[in-house]
Structure 1
């Protein structure tokens, strides 16, 4: 297959059909899926606590892929990727950079959700030449309000049983938002072939330590946020129980080039509840 044929074949893939590939990163196999329009600067998705590639909403990834090359991946030790997941955000960010460099990219857009947003901020500061634009969703700054209270958040999420955890964490308690959560769970099951491996208990434990450590840290004067020089688009719902919504406003106040979209009647997973608005604004931001 020549290069043009291969490129055309890749564009025919979507969230539901893109094959899982692997690449060697510092001696370990990292798994990823790449699909969508062939663009010079791809959008690399940075996933939430416990999540793997199958936890992204296909209506979000496919709509972004209509305009950009989309790369979903499992960081070290997550899902089907090999190795041991670090227990701190700094190491997770370095692993993500190593993965991007292994793919041969010298410039990317980052879309970081929740824990992925912590990682995205760190990459934008430490590797400014690598990051073109940054989208942050359901996330917050180093030492942000309530981030360290992870155990309390999870206890509330499990109150209605394991089948309702994502709905309780990502959506608010209104009928509209709960219905959006149920629809979201249905879309997560749309990929029927080559499903990803669930994250191990070791990975979940280490990710939890990283989140708590990030929340307990201090950043006097929000110097880390002020060091982010790339354009940043911030999204959240108004009732985020995982990463208090006030953190989105704090990021807006201190990142030099930032815009905030805050939806009512929604929570941590606002980008999935309001996916059409999210994708429209995200694509416009990335293309301009």
Structure 2
């Protein structure tokens, strides 16, 4: 199938949003009051949440970013996506309300995620992987292709990513800037330094970590260290070009125009290597492009998941 390059413009945004609005989606619940559920796998208890109506569509499983818990998903994005389908949000091992210790490699995290999906008796799912979650979803697409129908990779990079190898330096620089300016670290890492970017960062920070039921604590030092090692290792491994070329599923790749963690050009590389891929690049946005352009992102995901195989 010929790849489609989707460039995000105001015209595209209006057209997409109009199409979705006419679909009369199912109303979503309030994510801030969504209770934790638990499943035990091999003696370890894992936490997850579901929101939205399953219907006849595969559920959309969300794979979180570095150090992120279920509470770190933007409420607006979750509720927007849940209007058209059921979402499964979960904590990997050692994260948030889940037990165990975080693996220090992407393969281990992917194995845990696969076992959780299977324990929930989900035959096939759609997957949305953000940042570190995008690496995990790539691993699943390669190792367990029958498990995923369609995938969305946001702020992601292929194995061998120079951007992920530089992650410690990027975070160190952001910590220094945060101390000098008083701006929150995540605002610096996820959003652009423009006036629009700063305003969207403020809105994003209002819509995370606001769970009134089963709120989660920040990740532990063990988890932070293990996940950092996993990302740096992913960036230091040989490129997975051949494996990506074998992926058969449709994949939507999304990134911002200036991603400091997973550089934008690496999303272009993913697009070039995955045969049935689409690429959408959002203007004036960084690593958190899905939150900075939340309405457009939800619209494109809906069109992608509900469109032809």
TM range (shorter): over 0.9
Give the Å deviation of 1:193: 2.7
**Does the CA contact (< 8 Å) of 1:157 and 1:164 recur in 2?**
no
**Residue of structure 1 in register with 2:249 after alignment:** 230
Q: 2:201 matched to 1:185?
A: no
Query: Which of 276, 279, 285 in structure 2 is aligned with 1:260?
Result: 279
Q: 2 CA distance for matches of 1:163 and 1:56?
A: 20
Is contact 2:162-2:236 (8 Å) kept? Answer: no
1:32 lines up with 2:48 in the alignment: yes
How many angstroms apart in 1 are the aligned matches of 2:49 and 2:183?
A: 26
**Match of 1:188, SS?**
coil
Q: How many residues align?
A: 277
Deviation per residue, 1:244-266 (Å, 9 max, x gap): 11110000111000011101211
The structure-2 alpha-carbon separation of the partners of 1:104 and 1:216, relative to structure 1 and needing over 3 Å to count, comes to: same
Q: Compare 101-110 and 14-23 and name the one that shifted more.
A: 14-23
Residue of structure 2 in register with 1:206 after alignment: 226
Q: In the alignment, what sits opposite 2:137?
A: 120
Deviation sequence 1:225-249 (CA, Å, 0-9, x none): 1122110001110110011111100
The answer on whether the counterparts of 1:22 and 1:31 sit within 8 Å (CA) in structure 2 is yes
> What does residue 57 of structure 1 align with?
74
Q: Runs of 5+ in structure 1 lacking a partner? A: 1-10
Residue 14 of structure 1 pairs with residue 30 of structure 2: yes
Provide the secondary structure at the position in 2 that maps to 1:124. Answer: helix
State the match for 1:152 in structure 2.
Answer: 169
**What's the counterpart of residue 68 of structure 1?**
85
Partner residue of 1:41 out of 46, 53, 58:
58
2:128–2:153: 8 Å Cα contact kept in structure 1?
yes
The residue aligned with 2:261 is 242
- The alpha carbon displacement at 1:197 in A equals 2.4
TM-score (normalised: structure 2): 0.87
1:27 is displaced (CA, Å) by 1.5
Per the alignment, residue 5 of structure 1 pairs with none
Instruction: Give the secondary structure class of the aligned counterpart of 2:39.
Output: strand
Conserved 8 A contact 1:145-1:246:
no
Give the 3-state SS of the residue equivalent to 2:290 in structure 1.
Answer: helix
- Give 1:12 deviation, angstroms: 6.6
In 1, distance between residues paired with 2:161 and 2:245? 15
Q: 1:284 aligns with which of 288, 297, 303?
A: 303
2:112 alignment counterpart: 95
The equivalent residue for 1:166 is 186
Task: Give 1:107's aligned residue.
Answer: 124
Look up the SS of the partner of 1:16 in the other structure. Answer: helix
Per mean C-alpha deviation after superposition, the further-off stretch among 58-67 and 35-44 is 35-44
1:22 is paired with a residue whose SS is strand
Of the three residues 237, 251, 265, the one matched with 2:270 is 251
